Structure 1
Amino acid sequence: MSKYRILEILKGTRDNDIASKICNRFLITLIITNIIAVILESVPELRSEYSEFFITFETFSVTIFTIEYLLRFWTAGFDSDWGDYTKIKRRMKYALSGNGLIDLIAILPSLLPILFPNLDLRTLRILRLVRILKISNYSTALEDLYHSIYAERKALTAAIYIFFLVVLFSSTITYMVENTAQPDKFSSIPQTLWWAVITLTTVGYGDVYPITALGQFIGSITALLGVCTVALLTGIIAASFSNQAQKRKEEQNLIMFKKQLQAAFRDGSISEDEEIMLEDLRDQLGIPDYKVAKLKKDIGLKE
């Protein structure tokens, strides 16, 4: 098997690639079963009774994940998506990328005890939960969500800044109002921060609450501001995610149309029937005229 074929299987770049689909589904299943195993292993009775099974399954899993990481690291040198660099620089870009670091962290909890026998195994078991983040390698929806958050990072930062401002002012004013009436529950601004955060996030545990009329009014305003802030954050992410999903769909439609255009132009010309078929496909996919003209220019087709 060639290195480029391995790259295609790992990235799933070809449509209807059976080998790529089998590989991705196997790895996703392995990741999910790993998370279940970590959860079940925390039960003392199950850990003692099935310890040998857990060890065997962990050894098998970390072997597969290590092979996957090494293959991704190796094939990154031939992947043009990592830029026009040397093979070593491309591999380093993968290793230092988000997905590369997640892939590495996924295998470290099992490899570190070999190098450092005195490490706390309980902490390392919890770190194995990071493996669930590997699913983003095989899910375009999760990838779109990450891109959406990154694209709106400035707007999200502004919304979070507003949230902290509201928390600060709300806790300060509430402390001033409620301290005399409830010195045990609102003894300081840091202690009042707990009430402000719980109220703003609309959780409302009910263990701490204002009893004065002014304090209850401030609490009501804080709760309303909390709903507005959460709605603002949700709206920013939802709108960006929708735009990202639409962008990906447009890219997929463009690729589909380009393939049909190349197939029609394979003999050096496009017949009248093929032109009608392409026009119908363009209308179905909603591809604008300027993009169609650019595609035709790219493949050497004159208008």
Structure 2
Amino acid sequence: MSGLSKKRVLEILSRSNGDDKVSMYCDRALSTLILLNLLAVSLESIDHLSIQYGYLFWAFELFSVTIFGCEYILRIWSSDANIDREGGTPAKLRFGYIFSFTGLIDLIAILPSILPLILGQIDLRWLRVLRLVRLLKISHYSTALEDLISAIREERNAFGAALYLFCIALFVSSALMYVVEHEVQPENFSSIPTTMWWSMITLTTVGYGDVSPMTSLGKLVGAATAIMGICVVALLTGIVATAFANQVARRKDIFEAEILHALADGVISEEELERIKKMQTELNLSDEHVRALIELLSERGTTKPD
């Protein structure tokens, strides 16, 4: 088929910018199918529903894997029309998609129906877990995971320092609790590695109550561990939240720079407009917001300093 048809298929399968109705309906249909798959997998794990409606679950799985399989093949076929990866050969662009994060998730989405044909009988619980991975297919329509990974990468030094503090708190509290509680509760605090279970849930939550200190000194160590947990977890949360906010702000700065670059010659070309709309979709900005931003930046560019 022509390169134009590939480009159109890629546009339909990519996240809609709001103007392309076909792409928007495709996004909604695939997202709905993904959510219905999660519901079906959850309900199928209930024994009496699985026995009573097993045929319906099987038919829905067959329908879903057919749709996901066609989507996967179309994405591979049209991936060489990706304007953001110009310069590569068609094979290189296709392999780039296949081995990308979203490409691997798309493959895993159809594996649960293929594996039994290749490997024979497989534990259904593992197949259900694989089918639940289909939730990650929504990353085609949201940059949340990408933004989170990028944010952590940008703040990896601070994040690593906070994790180091967490590890110190984990080992120190486990060692202390083992020393003071081992004789009283040898079954619960039989070793430092075993005690780490208590330390981990105390540092990250309020504890499950299945293991708790009985001695006065043990309760003191437990209280100190809980306080350390609040401090370290709050530190980790603050680092991730700040990095995530900075990542979003950086994307908006890049978006403004793209508009300024497009306005440099006074005219926004079709290719430049397409890039702007793609970034608009990623940032989830309304058309009114973008139009106002273009007008503002255009006025700023034409205003001469005195």
CA contact (8 A) 1:199 1:226 kept: yes
- 2:24 maps to 1:21: yes
Gaps spanning 5+ residues in structure 2: where? 270-290
Match in the other structure for 2:202: 199
Match in the other structure for 1:31: 34
Amino acid across the alignment from 2:65: V
Match in the other structure for 2:49: 46
- 2:127 maps to 1:124: yes
- 2:248 maps to 1:245: yes
Match in the other structure for 1:275: none
- 2:216 maps to 1:216: no
Q: 1:97–1:183: structure 2 CA closer, same or farther, 3 Å change rule? A: same
Deviation at 1:5, TM superposition (A): 0.9
- 2:87 maps to 1:89: no
- 2:171 maps to 1:181: no
Deviation at 1:194, TM superposition (A): 1.4
Match in the other structure for 1:6: 9
Amino acid across the alignment from 1:49: Q
Deviation at 1:265, TM superposition (A): 7.3
The CA RMSD over aligned residues, in Å, is 2.9
Match of residue 106, structure 2, among 96, 103, 107: 103
Deviation at 1:257, TM superposition (A): 6.2
Q: Deviations over 1:233-282 (max 9, x none)?
A: 1111111111122233334455566667777578xxxxxxxxxxxxx955
- 2:134 maps to 1:138: no
Deviation at 1:287, TM superposition (A): 9.1
Amino acid across the alignment from 1:87: P
Amino acid across the alignment from 2:114: L
Q: 1:150–1:30: structure 2 CA closer, same or farther, 3 Å change rule? A: farther
Aligned residues, how many?
A: 278
CA contact (8 A) 2:9 2:78 kept: yes
- 2:74 maps to 1:71: yes
Amino acid across the alignment from 1:125: R
Range that drifts further, 147-156 or 15-24: 147-156
Give the greater-gyration-radius structure (CA).
Answer: 1
Q: Residue 2 of structure 1: SS of its match in structure 2?
A: helix
Measure the CA separation in 2 of the matches of 1:158 and 1:53: 51
CA contact (8 A) 2:77 2:94 kept: yes
- 2:65 maps to 1:62: yes
Q: Deviations over 1:211-243 (max 9, x none)?
A: 333322222221111011111111111111111
Amino acid across the alignment from 1:185: N
Match in the other structure for 1:272: none
Measure the CA separation in 2 of the matches of 1:228 and 1:288: 48
Measure the CA separation in 2 of the matches of 1:265 and 1:167: 56
CA contact (8 A) 2:263 2:298 kept: no
Q: 1:122–1:218: structure 2 CA closer, same or farther, 3 Å change rule? A: closer
Measure the CA separation in 2 of the matches of 1:57 and 1:106: 14
CA contact (8 A) 1:82 1:93 kept: no
Q: Residue 190 of structure 2: SS of its match in structure 1?
A: coil
Amino acid across the alignment from 2:213: P
Gaps spanning 5+ residues in structure 1: where? 267-279, 294-303
Measure the CA separation in 2 of the matches of 1:24 and 1:282: 27
Q: Residue 144 of structure 1: SS of its match in structure 2?
A: helix
Measure the CA separation in 2 of the matches of 1:80 and 1:282: 24
Q: 1:113–1:216: structure 2 CA closer, same or farther, 3 Å change rule? A: same
Deviation at 1:63, TM superposition (A): 0.8
With normalisation by structure 2, the TM-score equals 0.80
CA contact (8 A) 1:76 1:82 kept: no
Match in the other structure for 1:301: none
CA contact (8 A) 1:24 1:138 kept: yes
CA contact (8 A) 1:137 1:143 kept: no
Measure the CA separation in 1 of the matches of 2:175 and 2:62: 53
CA contact (8 A) 2:262 2:268 kept: no
